[in-house]
Amino acid sequence: MSIISGKSLGHVMDIEFSRETGCVTALVVPGGFNLLQSIKGEKTGIAVPWDRIQKIGEDVVLVDIAPEELEGCYQK
């Protein structure tokens, strides 16, 4: 959930790690709909950088990022 807009970004669908350090670098949330990828059975995700994660709770992850900022994040 974005603490800026209050909008849900969806459920975390993957976690990215650094190969060098083994530390988490990003959480991947659902991205925009892509018909071709959907037909192939692929999922589209947007990586939210770890430094933008504010708090992880039992039911919600709070991120300091506006949904429109996600457009510039890496699409997986």
Fold of 14-72: SH3 type barrels. (2.30.30)
pTM of the model: 0.72
Domain ranges of the chain: 14-72
**11-22 pLDDT, tens digit each:** 898 999 999 999
Q: How many whole angstroms separate alpha carbon 72 and alpha carbon 58?
A: 28
> Where do we find the tokens 């709770």?
57
**21-76 pLDDT, tens digit each:** 999 999 988 876 566 656 666 667 888 899 999 999 988 999 998 767 766 555 54
Sign of CA dihedral 31, 34, 39, 42: negative
